[in-house]
Structure 1
């Protein structure tokens, strides 16, 4: 998501809390809230990035670790700012936190703060020889190609558009049932106080190598739901603070990872998302930090807009709970 201030998210959220609390107190008895023991662990990588680990499997969503400065002197996004890659931070995270290669990288959209580190990760020596499939839209995959990946990884760029229901591993006599599934949902980008966002656009072919953050265009937005065997459903509407309500109709995740800022132009965003998804038992906000403080700086935890946690809990009420994740700290669902 491209945003200029964290206040944009609060503008769209604060008005929902009172009405949401009133509705929640009259809700039916809720299902038990998971309190660990599922074997499914999440780690917030900052902004909209996530690691999900279970049963020897690992998936990453929007793994952006560089956290470069993006604003100009006036505090608004400078789309002409040169792209940066912080290889020191990437090396550190892969050595100390994300200590194995994923089976899948799931891209929600093309903006730099979601996609820009993916090629560097795919080229990283720690991941050499490991098969990693990247799921994304046409624009997202064209940007990954343009930023440079090994030729051997081209075949593992997997085009998805929304509606796909994938299983892992592939069906075989030895594996009639999957270890997990990935559902892909068409989604929407956040709409800020101006009702728009930037940089917008799509790419139907590989562009020249991007040099600025503005060249990483949105290219459509996706959401994902990962179902671990028959025990837990985790939905990532994490890349933006908007969603396509009719696209997720009928989905009932146990855990919802929800983009939390930049929704000033979206009507009743939090309340509509929770209601459309059947009031998930656990809600985890993200994309509510300052986007630039380095991950190895202890102050990064203090850049989070934690008013979002209280707002979401007020809407969810006694139906479930809202977690307050800390950067790079793994927790079990």
Structure 2
């Protein structure tokens, strides 16, 4: 479950928040500089400034970012239903369910929902949130697009990206970064594959393939930038040149990826 207690803290220019170590909604106090133009990676040093942004961990790779009355959700999975994954008895036919009461308590009023990939523990709650927040826009892969269409989400609300795009949502700049999914001990991962058309309405966790993985760099109107990862692997080449103030870096559970920590 997400933790909502706030604590004040002063950070260095780049903040690394790792998995379970990041539990609280943290007000950001960072040296930042506004981006000169959307989509550019260049940054110039500036004096320290205070941002009113708060970051609330929602569990797994999920985050809620609030700034000046605006809310962004990233991989919001709050329903937390049991699949057996952490009990060595994973059931791929586990039914997809939503915990509306918990979602309502923590989702806020999002205007943007960013989805790294389409596995259940990243996408499952997005259709519910989309219905509860009808003005929210969703950014994700083509597979995410087709799955959300299967759940009945209006296609006009979904922005499909592949990596390399820089989108300006009224001063909230979202840069999509081609990324990679975490690896297991067999050097693979659960339910790979992509979709090119909407499937029948998904019913179980195995109905939600990965569909490629994205990371995002979000730059807020006050200049604070945050890099968001939805899995514990990434493309170093595609992320080259990004200089976020805050980085949410997923911690791998295996050593399958070569020199993961040094690359980060």
CA distance in 1, matches of 2:143, 2:210: 8
Q: Deviations over 1:133-156 (max 9, x none)?
A: 11011101111111233xxx3211
Please state which structure has a larger fraction of its residues in helix: 1
Change (3 A) 1:231 1:75: same
Matches within 5 A, 1:152-231: 153-169=154-170, 179-229=171-221, 231=223
User: Cα 1:74–1:65, aligned 2, differ >3 Å: closer, same or farther?
Assistant: closer
CA contact (8 A) 1:43 1:51 kept: yes
Q: Which of 134, 137, 158 does residue 133 from structure 1 map onto?
A: 137
Q: Which runs of 5+ in 1 are unaligned?
A: 1-29, 170-178, 274-333
Q: Report how far residue 85 of structure 1 moved.
A: 1.5
Pairwise mapping of residues 7-26 of structure 1 onto structure 2 (< 5 A)?
none
User: Residue 148 of structure 2 corresponds to which residue in structure 1?
Assistant: 144
Larger proportion of strand? 2
What is residue 249 of structure 1 aligned with on the other side?
240
- 1:89 equivalent to 2:90? Answer no
Unaligned stretches of 5+ in structure 2? 1-11, 16-27, 31-49
Q: How many residues align?
A: 222
Q: Report which stretch shifted further, 80-89 or 159-168.
A: 80-89
Provide Cα deviations, 1:90-149, integer angstroms capped at 9, x if missing partner.
Answer: 23x2xxx433x212100000000000111111122xx2xx42111011101111111233
Aligned-residue offset at 1:72: 6.9
Cross-structure match for 2:68: 55
In 2 relative to 1, CA 182–205 (structure 1 residues): closer, same or farther, beyond 3 Å?
same
Assess if the C-alpha contact under 8 Å between 1:242 and 1:263 holds in 2.
Answer: no
Contact 1:188 / 1:221 at 8 angstroms: preserved in 2? yes
Alignment pair present for 1:98 and 2:110: no
Q: CA–CA distance in 2 between the matches of 1:74 and 1:249?
A: 37
**Distance of 2:175 and 2:82 partners within structure 1:** 33
Partner SS, residue 262 of structure 2: helix
Deviation (angstroms), 1:159: 0.6
- The question of whether the paired residues in 1 share the 8 Å contact of 2:14 and 2:247 is answered with no
C-alpha separation in 1, matches of 2:65 and 2:201: 30
1:29-78 Cα shifts (integer Å, max 9, x gaps): x7597647311111111111111111222111011110110117962421
CA distance in 2, matches of 1:116, 1:79: 14
Residues 83 and 211, structure 1, Cα contact 8 Å, conserved in 2 = yes
The corresponding residue for 1:119 is 127
Asked if 1:109 corresponds to 2:117, the answer is yes
Distance 1:87 1:32, change over 3 A: closer
Question: Offset of 1:197 from its aligned partner?
Answer: 0.2
What's the offset of the Cα at 1:221?
A: 0.1
**Whole-angstrom CA distance in 2 between matches of 1:51 and 1:219:** 23
Aligned-residue CA RMSD in angstroms?
A: 2.0
Aligned to 1:39, the other structure's residue is in SS state: strand
Distance 1:74 1:225 in 2: 34
Counterpart CA distance in 1 for 2:14 and 2:250 is 24
Q: From the superposition, tell whether residues 35 and 157 of structure 1 become closer, same or farther in structure 2 (CA, over 3 Å).
A: closer
Give distance in 2, aligned partners of 1:39 and 1:71.
Answer: 39
Which residue in 1 is equivalent to 2:231?
Answer: 240
Question: Aligned to 2:52, what secondary structure does the other structure show?
Answer: coil
Contact 1:187 1:244 in 2 (8 A): yes
- 1:2-26: per-residue Cα shift (whole Å, max 9, x none)? xxxxxxxxxxxxxxxxxxxxxxxxx
Greater relative CO (CA pairs within 8 A, separation 6+)? 1
User: How far apart are the structure 2 equivalents of 1:56 and 1:74?
Assistant: 40
